[in-house]
Structure 1
Amino acid sequence: MQSSKQLYNNLLLQITAYESQEAKEIVFWLMEFYLGLRKIDILGDKSFEKDIDWANIIERLNTNEPIQYILGETEFYGRRFLVNASVLIPRPETEELVKYIVEKQKKQFPVTNNQLSILDIGTGSGCISISLAKELPNFKVTAYDISEKALETAKRNAELNKADVTFEKVDILNNQFLILNSQAERRPFSIIVSNPPYVTKQEIDRMQKNVLDFEPHLALFVEDSEPLIFYEAIANFAFNNLTENGLVAVEINEALGEETADVFRRRGFSEVEIIKDIHQKDRFVSAILHKKDGE
């Protein structure tokens, strides 16, 4: 039998890459994940028998590898999601985007006999699409991503959470794809949501090492010369693929709130809003597509 309090203190001494308070939270997290010991158990010095390769875990932590990648999972919107180096680690701010859509759709689609549908562009781990599929079971949910590995992870997360989501490999920047979906192959969606790449290369110096060194750059970065390239593609696609009074909602670069909103205004969307996150930073843009002339 081993002392949980002694292990806690030993692990805390070995974690050097984090400030004291964050290191304490990480140790509590590790001990609950691997040993099933809660904070109250550790403070009460509950004994345990299980042997864990702590040296390897500490070594990975001290290289700034995110704990979520070490554990292979994280929590999002109250559900468990598998994560790995092919997908971004879901952020609390993105939970706000899901919550916004869940609340907004009540007003946007109060009573309808039509089939309602959601598209998540750049789904990554599937955290947005799967959460919406669980929260809004009357919606048909589809999710796009360009990365095969990300889609594999998203499919595993859908199985894990028993969510009905259709996943497709799609490059939203592919002009041929956009043209096809603006003509005969059009598939209307009630809601389009996206958390696309939006960090510019000039912002790299301000990023945390654990994000820069370990999370997928494909899902993070855009060129300084085209910071809004994904929003322009999303706006064009949404204009041709949203149903009447359809909603588009996207997570954004806090430094480009007005510029992102203008992309949707110029494309013909109404009720364009910039929404702040819990830290009072510009974090989301939402817009409504009213019925177009001739339809």
Structure 2
Amino acid sequence: MKSESEWGSRPSKLARGTIKCSIILAGMTAATNAQAACERGMLRQLAATYVEAQSTGQPAIVPLAAESYYGENNLPVDIAAGILTQALPVDFTRSFYDTEQCATFTELVSATNAHPYVIHTRMEVSDGEVTVMESVVTDEGDWVFGADAHLAQTQVENWGEIPAGQRDTRESIQAAADAYLDNWGNPELPVPHGTPCARLEGRIYTGSRDPEGQTCTMGAFPQPIETGSRRYVIDETVGAVSIFHNFSWIDAGLGPYHPGTPTSQTFRVEGGMNRYIHEVTACTTPKCGR
């Protein structure tokens, strides 16, 4: 989340905000990282099938395994009643493929829909079928939401393939991203941001301040934030890692705990340094607890 004063008033999403944390955690027990390696081409096809399902409103074309988990914003949902039943115009999409864990990540922007969305989706796969599919679905009222502005920036960024000899290891890519999240709880921890480095959170793009500078540093929060239940998709070929997680304010006598909030952070890492950071966050309380 941002340190800028972008909180603004918003309608309360009671359907999400009143859900008990125990239900959220129960829904996430199935959402653990996949284990078996698989072919990149198969993952690419599954991601394309997901995009087709969203653009046509046909969730049944996604090949779900028996007893699979499907969830939206950290809650288990019947796929036949979720966001995939809406045929959304897809204005932009970008996917990553984790062949080691057999998992995919897709960013999907539907800015021209009458009801705009920005959606981040990760899938875990076994034997060509989806065993876990979860999405962070954001729309009006969520954290600094603005699909038009998000679309304008994400589609011009370079997330292209990195030459084989210049690629970071999976461990290095994950470490750069984890350092960013760990810093939220302890601002003394170093974060390897490159120059340039820019963040895109909802409609807010920090790179507009200094296109060639490092604008990814967050600064200290009013009180520390801890993140939990981190689920990763790592694609070394493009230096990318997606982390699905939820976070809470650490109680420092400055107010009530902030309930776990569905969030997706996506990083482009070049030479061990963060280059781009995207965040989408679905608020479970007004103003995401701020």
TM more than 0.5: no
Larger radius of gyration: 1
Query: Which structure ranks higher in relative contact order (CA pairs < 8 Å, sequence separation ≥ 6)?
Result: 2
